[in-house]
């Protein structure tokens, strides 16, 4: 067994959140550069240039790239040969969030109760997903998401007969119905298969994948290409104002499902994709 201190998990969460909420990842800025080479709509071009400037200023002034610093999804892949030492892991994850909220001037965006509301004041609690995996390391990822894009995410329990065309319809409808509310250009995670709860977590986990790669499953890789092409032909465009650049990244995760089911989930991230991973 290898020992990992939960204090190290707290420190990793704080460090990752403080950085990814301020520094746009190169994939995003490179994608905007590339989009500006082909975008034909002048309004969309202007908006892409404004976003580039926003990212540049955020990095320079050390301020968050968007005011909505989000609800923190945290993914923990815990090696089954790891012995955790210290305070309860989830308390330490939340402590890391508290620290980042203070140090990186993140907006307090969480409420205590979905009906009664009441801000918790420090962005806690996180939505934590645990997975026990082989090995002796802890892989921890953070994915803070604003409500604009999270609210536009969708889930559909299709019938198998709906097939690939049904899947495409669900994804395209989610993007088009979102208009400008989810702040395009988007990064999109799609889950296919599993059950009601599993497909939603697949869609969210897909947002952690590299967007410049494709699935190792040939027909899923093909679907990833088809979906992003279809979305970019929708003319939703940056901030929903029209244009060729509606999505800059899309990944699909799939898994086995019931003979009578075809669950599909779409988890949408705005252009302000914030994510980071560390292995301890």
d(CA 238, CA 185) in angstroms, rounded, equals: 5
Window 121 to 150, contacts with ligand SF4 (CB under 6 A): 146, 148-149
CB of 121 to ligand SF4, least distance (A): 19
Q: Decide: 8 and 280 in contact? Cβ < 8 Å.
A: yes
Nearest to 75, CA basis, from 16, 27, 25: 16
Q: Decide: 6 and 84 in contact? Cβ < 8 Å.
A: yes
CB of 274 to ligand SF4, least distance (A): 8
d(CA 174, CA 190) in angstroms, rounded, equals: 11
Q: Decide: 240 and 180 in contact? Cβ < 8 Å.
A: yes
- Please say which residue, 251 or 271, places its beta carbon nearer to ligand SF4: 271
CB of 15 to ligand SF4, least distance (A): 21
- Please say which residue, 16 or 138, places its beta carbon nearer to ligand SF4: 16
Window 243 to 272, contacts with ligand SF4 (CB under 6 A): 270, 272
Window 180 to 209, contacts with ligand SF4 (CB under 6 A): 182-183
- Please say which residue, 10 or 274, places its beta carbon nearer to ligand SF4: 274
Window 62 to 91, contacts with ligand SF4 (CB under 6 A): 66, 68
d(CA 166, CA 213) in angstroms, rounded, equals: 24
- Please say which residue, 183 or 276, places its beta carbon nearer to ligand SF4: 183
Three-class DSSP category at 96:
helix
Burial grade of 208 (CB within 10 A; 0-12, 13-18, 19 or more) = middle
- Please say which residue, 68 or 77, places its beta carbon nearer to ligand SF4: 68
The structure tokens listed for 47 are 């908006």
- Please say which residue, 148 or 194, places its beta carbon nearer to ligand SF4: 148
Q: Decide: 118 and 112 in contact? Cβ < 8 Å.
A: yes
CB of 182 to ligand SF4, least distance (A): 6
Q: How many residues bind ligand SF4 (CB under 6 A)?
A: 9
Residues that bind ligand SF4 (CB under 6 A): 66, 68, 146, 148-149, 182-183, 270, 272
């Amino acid at each position: 067994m290898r020992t990992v201190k939960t204090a190290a998990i707290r420190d990793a969460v704080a460090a990752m959140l403080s950085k990814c909420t301020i520094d746009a990842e190169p994939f995003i800025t490179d994608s905007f550069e590339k989009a500006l080479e082909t975008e034909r709509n002048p309004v969309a071009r202007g908006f892409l240039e404004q976003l580039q400037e926003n990212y540049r200023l955020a990095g320079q002034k050390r301020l968050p790239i968007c005011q909505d610093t989000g609800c923190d999804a945290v993914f923990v892949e815990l090696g089954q040969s790891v012995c955790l030492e210290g305070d309860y892991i989830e308390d330490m994850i939340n402590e890391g969030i508290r620290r980042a909220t203070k140090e990186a001037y993140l907006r307090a965006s969480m409420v205590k109760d979905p009906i009664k509301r009441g801000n918790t004041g420090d962005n806690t609690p996180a939505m934590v997903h645990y997975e026990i995996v082989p090995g002796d390391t802890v892989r921890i990822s953070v994915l803070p998401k604003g409500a604009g894009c999270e609210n536009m995410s969708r889930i559909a329990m299709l019938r198998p007969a709906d097939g690939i065309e049904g899947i495409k319809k669900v994804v395209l409808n989610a993007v088009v119905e979102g208009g400008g509310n989810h702040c395009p250009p988007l990064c999109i995670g799609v889950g296919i298969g599993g059950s009601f709860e599993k497909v939603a977590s697949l869609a969210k986990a897909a947002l952690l994948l590299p967007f410049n790669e494709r699935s190792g499953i040939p027909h899923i890789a093909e679907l990833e290409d088809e979906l992003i092409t279809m979305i970019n032909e929708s003319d939703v465009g940056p901030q929903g104002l029209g244009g060729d650049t509606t999505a800059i990244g899309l990944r699909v995760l799939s898994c086995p499902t019931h003979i009578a089911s075809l669950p599909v989930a779409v988890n949408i991230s705005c252009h302000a994709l914030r994510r980071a991973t560390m292995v301890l």
